[in-house]
């Protein structure tokens, strides 16, 4: 008879177990594929779903109903919470928070102390960094680089670069 002892950690009354690929903690209420890597100090809790070749590493955490898929990476001490979605080849790193109903896809890079929340959508090869905040129903795509504050019903496309501040209802584009 073979007996396997699985280490269990209880956090706020929920059982967490080490993931088979990386050893990070996964709540019994979360869904994480065997192909995902959950690093030793990373945590996946709530009803989060992690599928594909995702990497959650360092002190990163994914909670609530967040969905991380494909080959996305959440690293550093980044948090993806709420009903946020991260997919594709996205890298979320640093002290980033992605929350609400935010969606990030493509080859976007979100880093430093950026905040993406509400119903913001980021796609393409967008870079969001420094202390940028993207919120409301803002949409950023293409090759934009943003380190400012974007809120409301703002659309940013193409090769926009720099400390952009936009709010309300606006379209920012570079047609050169």
Q: Has residue 157 been placed in a domain?
A: no
Q: Has residue 137 been placed in a domain?
A: no
Q: Has residue 144 been placed in a domain?
A: no
Number of compact structural domains in the chain: 1
Q: Has residue 172 been placed in a domain?
A: no
Q: Has residue 3 been placed in a domain?
A: no
Residue 16 CA, chain-centre distance (Å), reads 21
Backbone angles phi, psi at 173, to 5 degrees: -145, 160
Q: Quick one: which of 74, 73, 62, 75 has its CA closest to 32?
A: 62
Span 141-167, pLDDT tens digits: 888 888 888 877 777 766 666 555 655
Check if the beta carbon of residue 151 is closer than 8 Å to that of residue 169: no
Q: Distance of CA 23 to CAs 57, 71, 80, 143, Å?
A: 10, 19, 19, 36
Question: 25 is in which domain, residue-wise?
Answer: 9-100
Alpha-carbon gap, residue 152 to 74, rounded angstroms: 26
Q: Has residue 2 been placed in a domain?
A: no
Q: Has residue 30 been placed in a domain?
A: yes
Lowest-confidence region among 67-76, 87-96, 134-143:
134-143
pTM (predicted TM-score): 0.89
């Amino acid at each position: 008879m073979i007996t396997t002892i699985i280490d269990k950690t209880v956090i706020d009354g929920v059982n967490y177990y080490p993931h088979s690929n990386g050893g990070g903690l996964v709540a019994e209420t979360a869904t994480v594929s065997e192909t995902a890597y959950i690093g030793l100090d990373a945590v996946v809790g709530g009803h989060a779903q992690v599928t594909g070749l995702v990497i959650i590493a360092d002190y990163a955490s994914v909670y609530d109903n967040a969905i991380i898929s494909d080959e996305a990476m959440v690293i550093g001490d980044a948090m993806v919470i709420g009903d946020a979605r991260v997919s594709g080849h996205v890298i979320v790193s640093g002290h980033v928070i992605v929350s609400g109903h935010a969606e990030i896809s493509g080859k976007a890079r979100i880093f430093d102390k950026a905040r993406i929340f509400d119903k913001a959508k980021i796609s393409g090869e967008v870079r969001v960094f420094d202390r940028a905040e993207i919120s409301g129903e803002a949409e950023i795509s293409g090759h934009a680089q943003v380190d400012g504050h974007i809120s409301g019903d703002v659309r940013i496309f193409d090769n926009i670069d720099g400390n952009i501040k936009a709010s309300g209802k606006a379209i920012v584009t570079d047609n050169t």
